[in-house]
Amino acid sequence: MSVPMGNLLWPPLFNYPRIILISYTYEALKNHRLDNHLGGPMADCELCGAMKVGTRAVIMGRAEIQACKRCTEKMGLQEKKVAPGLSRVNNSNATSGGYGGIGRKGKDIMLRGEKELSSEFSKLVTEARTAKGWDKRELARRMAEKINVINNVESGKRPTDAVIRKLERTLDIILMVDASPDENRHVNTVQSRGLTLGDFLLGDKE
């Protein structure tokens, strides 16, 4: 029995949009799962500067950083080993700053356990940069940061957690030192932010 050509052509043509949509949805879901599996939580890569990408905690020198999959494979970095019992806790704190227990990534949190930013961080950075024969622009390029960031650091403005790690890694220096006693820490904090009326009143009571 002969079948009209229209009956052979129209059903496949009618199904083309549906087939394309199903195929596209499947690929999108597959890629999304693959990215999450290989890249980990969405964050900024501290090596290439890529934003909102899948990252993983890796060890580079003496520092722990967040790196994307491409940088990790290109530089042959080793992913940080996490005990199974701690994985859930670490995932819940994925957005915490590297040098603090709370807050968003990159926030100025100066303490990590019993560590704090050295009061001479600007001097340490300047001396280390000079010893390597780099100008500020070269250091900024190697850190994938703007030159204004370097200017601010060397002028004494406290850097963010991510910048601290980059400085330590790039210049091979240690900026996070053992925390000073509470009384010394209070004095350093007051000097760094300037005296207030509350500081004078507190001093009178003491």
User: Are residue 133 and residue 54 in the same domain, yes or no?
Assistant: no
The reply to whether 48 falls in a domain is: yes
Q: What is the pTM of this model?
A: 0.38
User: Are residue 74 and residue 123 in the same domain, yes or no?
Assistant: no
The reply to whether 97 falls in a domain is: no
3-state secondary structure of 68: strand
Query: In this structure, what CATH number is given to the domain that contains residue 184?
Result: 1.10.260.40
What are the pLDDT digits (tens) for 61-86? 778 888 888 888 888 887 877 655 44
What are the pLDDT digits (tens) for 96-143? 444 444 444 444 444 445 788 999 999 999 999 999 999 999 999 999
* Residue linked to tokens 């722990």: 64
> 134 is in which domain, residue-wise?
115-205
User: Are residue 67 and residue 132 in the same domain, yes or no?
Assistant: no
What are the pLDDT digits (tens) for 164-194? 999 999 999 999 988 766 544 444 544 555 5
The reply to whether 50 falls in a domain is: yes
What lies within 8 Å, CB to CB, of 162 at 6+ separation is: 44, 46, 98, 105, 106
The reply to whether 71 falls in a domain is: yes
User: Are residue 136 and residue 69 in the same domain, yes or no?
Assistant: no
The count of structural domains within the chain is 2
* DSSP output for 144-195: T--HHHHHHHHTTPPPPHHHHHHHHHHHT---EEEPPPHHHHHHHHHHHH--
The reply to whether 171 falls in a domain is: yes
The reply to whether 76 falls in a domain is: yes
pLDDT confidence band for 89 (50 / 70 / 90): very low
